[in-house]
Structure 1
Amino acid sequence: MVLLARHCLRAESQAIRAALRTPATVPATGTPYPWRVRSPTLPIADLLPSIRASLAAHPRLVLEAPPGAGKTTQVPPALLDAPWLGGRRIVMLEPRRVAARAAAGFMAQQRGEAVGDTVGYRIRFERKVSAHTRIEVVTEGILTRMLQDDPMLEGIGALLFDEFHERHLAADLGLALALDVQASLRADLRIVLMSATLDGARLAQFLDAPRLSSAGRSFPVAVAHFPARRDEALQHQVRRAVAHALAAHPGDVLVFLPGQREIARTQALLESQAAAAGAAQSQARQGGRAPASAQAPPSAPLPPDAGRIEVLALHGELPVERQAYVLQPAADGRRRVILATNVAESSVTLPGVRVVVDSGLAREPRFDPNSGFSRLEVVAIAQASAEQRAGRAGRLAAGWAYRLWPPSQRLEPQRRAEITQVDLSGLALELAAWGTAELRFVEPPPPGALAAGRDLLRQLGALDGEAPTPLGRRMLALGTHPRIAALLLAPRTDAARALACDLAALLEARDPLRGGSHGDALATRWQALAAFRAGRVDADASRAALAALDTAAGQWRRRLRLDAPPPRAAAPHQLGDLLLHAFPDRIGYRHADDPTRYQLANGRMARLFDDSALRGEPWLVASELRFEARDALVLRAAPLDETQLRRAFPQRFSEADHVRWDPQRRALVAQRERRYERIVLDARPAGRVDPAQAAQALVEAVRTLGLEALPWSESLQQWRARVASLRHWLPEQASALPDLTDAALLAGLDSWLRPAFAGKTRLDALTQDEFADALHGLLDWTGRQRLEQAAPARILVPSGLQRRIDYALEPDGTPRSPVLAVKLQELFGLAETPRIADGRVPLTLHLLSPAGRPLQVTQDLRGFWERTWPEVRKEMKGRYPRHPWPEDPWNAPATHRAKPRGH
């Protein structure tokens, strides 16, 4: 019902997206390529009839096929004429833009058509589709927008998820939404998961779907490890491995590197080496000697024909024509060294590759609390990725793979799902727009991360309760991180929008200034971009990074249908006036006594570098922080104008009485405060302390000072240890007993401790009895009875007296063995060690002399009587003659008294 209601209310969202949509760039349909690529015979061909038959009988399918089997380019065309498709479209999700373009181009060439005719693609900022398109290859964010725009998926008969093993967040969300559509609205929709290394059995069980596996067409690959030398940079290790591969093996070399930065460094090194080798070879042919600057280095030199070797880069940011060039065989037969990110792991074919050099590294998204975004970090790849990379060397003939990590290093078996390790604010907004979070995820989103994402959305104005606001729906339409979307949608003038596009590009990209020693001012980065546009590039700036920033900002201007040119000048506070919409929780106000410290809107304190250009600014907004134990460190920030802040968020300014804990006076202080969120702008003494505020302030004091600030008694510490021990000893009954760990007690202070502070204004006004009553209140009557029965404070011994049991916990919270310290004579006649916790836990007996000194520590009372008692009796009888020392302790009467005089 929720999905049906959403379908009926879709008009506004569609109108918003239509206004933001980039115009299609499709060649005139019906314009075929001047050639038609004959469909190759690939291993998947034998499985295509089974795939068609399975989808005719069942709406879901899990398809496993190794690299090179042809699943990406052969399965979609094979389904076009399926009766169940009924002439509708097939949408294939491809995680990477390079692979999406390549797959669409290859399928179009197979048909002798242009991309955009029967086969097209849609990726961020680029579309090649037409009214005739029936196979549409899309990247992950595009699929989510399609599902949100039209849950009925009108005109679409099948969704294919390629390379699902990469477990990107957008793919997991897209699958969850598609399953909801299939269950609620479109039982005829087909869903296919495809990959080379996915956990097929688990996914088939999750989907209740058939599972088909294709044979691969690969040749054996010899794997060897090529470890680094001491203190060797990655690019130099790669150079050695490439030199060895070119000298020892035929064919092209594919090198896997984590990202563009490493590719650029390695490419520069290899090209300089190749040029030097070429110069040396030319000189040798002429009978002369190459100059020293052109000589190849003696250690691991490139082969003599290195001058004819072409070194190429392959990553997602390359221009389309460069990507296409790399994916084609060398026209002049030259050998190639292709330096690629993990885009080359799957879905693209690199002809001629016979050797793989694998760094074992990749850049994958991880949530970065410093920036508030998910950032790409260099991490070790999974074993499945290592095997897939090595397999690229065996596509044409026997190949070789060199791994640049030691054989002793162990890799995780599979790649971890992004949903478990990235920021989930975008996912939270998607789920709010969908109308329910009760979706079937392969890996459910972590509740804590999802709750944090919703909190941020409320601060950005994107959520009202659990529902998206009109602003939230506009943010969703932009298909970017909610912080970036809030920044882009905030300005009211074209000039400000253009500046916001620049800031969005800066926030999403790496620092364009080299060395990381250029201060914390975001304005410095923007000024470098403005200078680049004017034809100037400072020596400490990266021209390539600035060019990428300029391109990204231009794409955002086109996305917003903005005709205004990029700004030539902007005051630093103008950047902050825009950034405050993206980082309302990181707005800071200068400390009254320290111009380098700022109180943040989220309640934390932050500090500037000592030489910061922002020092002394009244207000700032931090786009990047390093969270530390005391104060966060501001890494990137811009000043802002308080007038603009009041205009943007007037409702966040307030004036009211507040009660706070003064740690110096160890008492409460009542003040009349003007605030922005949790920033105190000014304060003056207030009148009488409000009792409710006082109780809450005392609770916050305990939260700050810790539980040791409370009046613990020895008996209360024992009670707490008894409850904790019983939870451990009887785990099946733990749910009926409260969690009394420090973390649990601190988390629940508002519910169990605050009532005890009623009417109090000082911590030391809370008595031990009042505190004990509050803590005992966590255990209900049934629990108290169970505690007394299974973990009693005292136990009856044969002498007829009650003796205390001592309970204690280890530092990690696990219970120590409970101790019963008792005079030895009080246990006469007792054969077995007493037990508690339903007989599961023996007491540790400290058997005492008449003077109360330990004679024996044991958990085996029977063994003590049988083996040790005669020796103890002999030694103690002369020392304590007025106490009984019978030969037969089994039948002697227990006593706590000495013998009467004269006996």
Structure 2
Amino acid sequence: MLPVQEIYQQLVTTLQSDPITLLQAPPGAGKSTWLPLQLMRDGHFKHIVMLEPRRLAARNIANYLAQCQNETVGQSVGLRIRQETKVSVNTRLEIVTEGMLTRMLQNDPELSGVDLLIFDEFHERSIAADTALAFALESQAALRDDLTILLMSATLDSERYQQFFDCSIISSHGRSFPIDEIYIPIKDESRWLDAMASIIKQALVEQTGSALVFLPGQYEINRVQQALSDLPANCHVVTLFGEQDKASQQASIAPAAKGTRKVVLTTNVAETSLTIEGIRIVVDSGKRRAASFNLKTGVTELTTQSISRSSAIQRAGRAGRIEPGVVYRLGSKQTFERRNSHDAPEILSADISQLLLEAKFWGAELTDLSLLDSPTAQQIQQATKLLQMLEALDNNNKLTPLGTRMLSFGADIRLAHMLMKAQQLEPQMPGIYTLAAYLIALLESRISHAADLSLALHSQHARPHPVFKQQLKFWLKRLKLTEVRELQTTYLALLVAFAFPDRLAKKRGNGYLLTNGAGAELNNEHWHNEDYLAIASMGGQKGSRIFAAVAFTPAEIEDELTHLFTAQTRCEFDEKTGRFIHQDEVKLGAITVTSQPSKHPLDKSERAKAWLTLFQKQGFELFNEQSDSEQLLIRMCLASNLMPEQFPVITKQSLIDDAQLWLGAFLEDIKTLEQLKKFNYFNALQSCFNWQQQNALNDLFPLRVSVPSGSNIRIEYQLDGPAKLSVRMQEVYGMISTPILAQGKLPLLMELLSPARRPLQLTQDLAGFWQTSYREVQKEMKGRYPKHFWPDNPATSVATSKVKSKSE
């Protein structure tokens, strides 16, 4: 009996009563296969849709379940994945991938006819799954109170999810077959790949059956495959990864022939919801290739990372699906236990432009959606800017008609924008639509090709790679186009600009400046004499290496991408020359395309903006020393910090950042740098407080304090530490205690001076000083200044500001 069968009745009862349920069951428990099929057979739900994160798993589960029904896929069990849909009026259980479920919800928010949504392997937490779940929750709450949602995984962060969804959790603790764990420590972590072949060979010697080996990507798969060339004749090495064609994938999954063993080198495509017959050994490198979005360059980079413990458990589970198994883990058990419990959700480290556009089409802001984890403000800002460049959002961040069509196109939104613009331009630019089909086939095939896109396309046109040929066939059929004998690449740069407007670049020094403001590395092998590049692919360690691009001139793209070009007047002060720069410029994002002396006279507001820019670079150090203004700045910062309920938030940095609000109007009449340096910013700074706050500041943080002698002595304030009052001792005779500042929240340090204004005593407790240490000071001062007044009881004596002595 499968473990999930033991909790089946409990699960059914919960599903029939609760809107959302969590199911936690170990790998091999039957939750992805037996459970949905049994729910369909028992008629508990009319139409079930189960989401699978990976196409390979979705296709194999659909095929397996259809075989269990003695049917082909498309009858009672259906399949919806990209480039492949098999459903009919008889379909009652659909296996779909993440993007397909989002499209189903967008096209029909009520999900008419569907009464159970299953999210399998929910621990993977892809953006697409988070998006689909957020939409499903809204649909359930507003439109379909009869829609049931089931979240399933072997390694759910169950406590957190249960609290977020306020739902029941059902756990199945049994395992179909036990799995032994063997840890293989290595001395040099950097040489982990070199150790993999020997670990595989060790496992094949020590164990029976076939092996599934987890590696980060195709590069590592190829390296290990070469190192296993000396295996016995009955051991066959095969590969399994996402970019393979369907036939190759199926061949790798098929059981080994009788009397032979199989070593399947795979990526995390085989981590979940996939059973390969005969596998009872898992060799886990503990590594994966993960996408990491670089906010600065706008590039998604693939980096090799250590997997979490939950992913390692999922991988090990592949060994115990049909018989007892064993997992060989690279690294020590201590290293394993130090790993994160779960992988970070994709939404926190990815490009969220697709999610943002989906939310706009759904009619919601991201903050309105029930997302387990919310993207950062920087991610939202970057995505919004890109969607505006792609014409999917207007300047008011509203969804455009083109943005709506891009979403429904069923391709990456960048490439969808390119294809739609190409189709629109085909009448006046013959051949551009066909060229777009060839370009998207090249980009989506992910094959190795020349860095110059024009050369790469001509090469594939002449001698096509099988994967490119397959992609081209798909796109030509979908776009209703035909192959061409001669490929014209005249409009190639324009097409790249349509898809990657944020990666147009201009040569700058030893590199390139991109329209999004980021930098790219200079390529020493290509484009030596080209000033501009349209970049289709870049990445590397810092996300700045150019992998594929084509040269262009701004004139080639300006007419069709006018929204990317802006005319502006630049006015700024050049510190090196000591002169104003006043230029009329045409900008392509952050790139300056043309610049010439402005034809317009320099007005006060432009000049003030230039001064503000200079101030924001240099801060208050720009101005000459001004004691009163500097003290006002410190007093205002202290008031903000010590009495936030009475004064607005003020810091030096906030004043610099918001200089336009309080300083700008005061700089309009300043014409030279010398005038600016001499500018007294006291009144401008004081304007940050209203009249009542200014009066309160003077009462609580006075600039001067009256002492018994009649003098008004200046207080020196500092941001860190007490305020300081330096005064001759004779002037505070008769003062019985230290003055109070800021209702006692700011201490005052009194520096008592000799008649010659040399420090005699530092105290924050004047009353205590008169009663204690004063006697020693009196004795010494009478000897040094015998003609001056040194009373025995200074707290009750008359103060004097005179230098001459005074009789008692």
Q: Shift in Å at residue 120 of structure 1?
A: 1.9
Residue 207 (str. 1) matches residue 165 (str. 2): yes
Residue 273 (str. 1) matches residue 230 (str. 2): yes
Q: Shift in Å at residue 189 of structure 1?
A: 1.3
Q: Could you state the TM-score of these two structures normalised by the residue count of structure 2?
A: 0.86
Residue 78 (str. 1) matches residue 56 (str. 2): no
1:454-508 per-position Cα deviation (integer Å, ceiling 9, x unaligned): 2221122111223322221221123343322222222144743343234335555
SS in 2 for 1:264: helix
The farther-off stretch of 380-389 and 178-187 is 380-389
Residue 564 (str. 1) matches residue 474 (str. 2): no
Partner of 1:500: 436
Partner of 2:406: 475
Q: Shift in Å at residue 168 of structure 1?
A: 0.8
Q: Provide the rounded CA distance (Å) in 2 between the counterparts of 1:879 and 1:766.
A: 49
Equivalent runs, 1:447-466 vs 2, <5 Å = 447-464=377-394, 465-466=396-397
Q: Is the 8 A contact 2:738 2:767 kept in 1?
A: yes
Q: Is the 8 A contact 1:607 1:632 kept in 2?
A: yes
Indicate how the Cα distance of structure 1 residues 606 and 242 shifts in structure 2: closer, same or farther if over 3 A, else same: closer
SS in 2 for 1:229: coil
Q: Provide the rounded CA distance (Å) in 2 between the counterparts of 1:616 and 1:873.
A: 85
Partner of 1:900: 805
Equivalent runs, 1:860-879 vs 2, <5 Å = 878-879=783-784
The one-letter code of the counterpart of 2:402 is L
The one-letter code of the counterpart of 1:485 is A
The one-letter code of the counterpart of 1:403 is L
Residue 668 (str. 1) matches residue 580 (str. 2): yes
Indicate how the Cα distance of structure 1 residues 495 and 740 shifts in structure 2: closer, same or farther if over 3 A, else same: same
2:364 aligned residue (414, 417, 436):
436
Q: Is the 8 A contact 1:118 1:133 kept in 2?
A: yes
SS in 2 for 1:463: coil
1:417 aligned residue (345, 364, 367):
345
Indicate how the Cα distance of structure 1 residues 574 and 891 shifts in structure 2: closer, same or farther if over 3 A, else same: same
Q: Provide the rounded CA distance (Å) in 2 between the counterparts of 1:858 and 1:241.
A: 74
2:528 aligned residue (597, 602, 615):
615
Partner of 1:776: 686
Partner of 1:574: 491
The one-letter code of the counterpart of 1:340 is T
Give the superposed CA RMSD.
Answer: 4.0
Q: Is the 8 A contact 1:791 1:836 kept in 2?
A: yes
Equivalent runs, 1:26-45 vs 2, <5 Å = 41-45=1-5
Q: Is the 8 A contact 2:604 2:668 kept in 1?
A: yes
Indicate how the Cα distance of structure 1 residues 190 and 685 shifts in structure 2: closer, same or farther if over 3 A, else same: closer
Q: Shift in Å at residue 620 of structure 1?
A: 3.1
Partner of 1:538: none
**Number of residue pairs the alignment of both structures matches:** 797
Q: Provide the rounded CA distance (Å) in 1 between the counterparts of 2:767 and 2:446.
A: 73
SS in 1 for 2:115: strand
Q: Provide the rounded CA distance (Å) in 2 between the counterparts of 1:737 and 1:195.
A: 50
Q: Provide the rounded CA distance (Å) in 2 between the counterparts of 1:310 and 1:499.
A: 41
The one-letter code of the counterpart of 1:777 is S
Indicate how the Cα distance of structure 1 residues 752 and 358 shifts in structure 2: closer, same or farther if over 3 A, else same: farther
Q: Shift in Å at residue 613 of structure 1?
A: 3.2
The one-letter code of the counterpart of 1:142 is M
Q: Shift in Å at residue 577 of structure 1?
A: 2.1
The one-letter code of the counterpart of 1:737 is P
Equivalent runs, 1:78-477 vs 2, <5 Å = 78-80=38-40, 85=45, 87=46, 89-217=47-175, 223=181, 225-230=183-188, 233-270=191-228, 272-274=229-231, 278=232, 307-369=233-295, 372-393=298-319, 396-397=323-324, 399-404=326-331, 407=334, 410-437=338-365, 438-464=368-394, 465-477=396-408
Partner of 1:300: none
Q: Shift in Å at residue 367 of structure 1?
A: 1.0
Q: Shift in Å at residue 648 of structure 1?
A: 0.8
Q: Provide the rounded CA distance (Å) in 2 between the counterparts of 1:856 and 1:510.
A: 78
Q: Provide the rounded CA distance (Å) in 1 between the counterparts of 2:311 and 2:708.
A: 69
SS in 2 for 1:312: strand
Q: Shift in Å at residue 347 of structure 1?
A: 1.7
1:486 aligned residue (376, 393, 417):
417
Q: Shift in Å at residue 549 of structure 1?
A: 4.4
The one-letter code of the counterpart of 1:200 is S
Q: Is the 8 A contact 1:116 1:130 kept in 2?
A: yes
Indicate how the Cα distance of structure 1 residues 589 and 236 shifts in structure 2: closer, same or farther if over 3 A, else same: closer
Q: Is the 8 A contact 2:284 2:328 kept in 1?
A: yes
1:719-751 per-position Cα deviation (integer Å, ceiling 9, x unaligned): 333444454445x649x5234343x44543443
SS in 2 for 1:407: helix
The one-letter code of the counterpart of 2:298 is G
Indicate how the Cα distance of structure 1 residues 331 and 751 shifts in structure 2: closer, same or farther if over 3 A, else same: same
Q: Provide the rounded CA distance (Å) in 2 between the counterparts of 1:722 and 1:509.
A: 64
Q: Provide the rounded CA distance (Å) in 1 between the counterparts of 2:194 and 2:299.
A: 32
The one-letter code of the counterpart of 2:609 is Q
The one-letter code of the counterpart of 1:666 is G
Gaps of 5+ in 2: none
Q: Could you state the TM-score of these two structures normalised by the residue count of structure 1?
A: 0.78
2:500 aligned residue (565, 577, 583):
583
Indicate how the Cα distance of structure 1 residues 618 and 353 shifts in structure 2: closer, same or farther if over 3 A, else same: closer
Residue 695 (str. 1) matches residue 582 (str. 2): no
Q: Shift in Å at residue 440 of structure 1?
A: 1.8
Q: Provide the rounded CA distance (Å) in 2 between the counterparts of 1:92 and 1:178.
A: 13
Q: Is the 8 A contact 1:254 1:337 kept in 2?
A: yes
Indicate how the Cα distance of structure 1 residues 579 and 763 shifts in structure 2: closer, same or farther if over 3 A, else same: farther
Partner of 1:283: none
1:662-691 per-position Cα deviation (integer Å, ceiling 9, x unaligned): 444434344455565663425245242233
1:79-134 per-position Cα deviation (integer Å, ceiling 9, x unaligned): 3367773x3x2111111112212222222222222222211221122223223221
Indicate how the Cα distance of structure 1 residues 350 and 687 shifts in structure 2: closer, same or farther if over 3 A, else same: closer
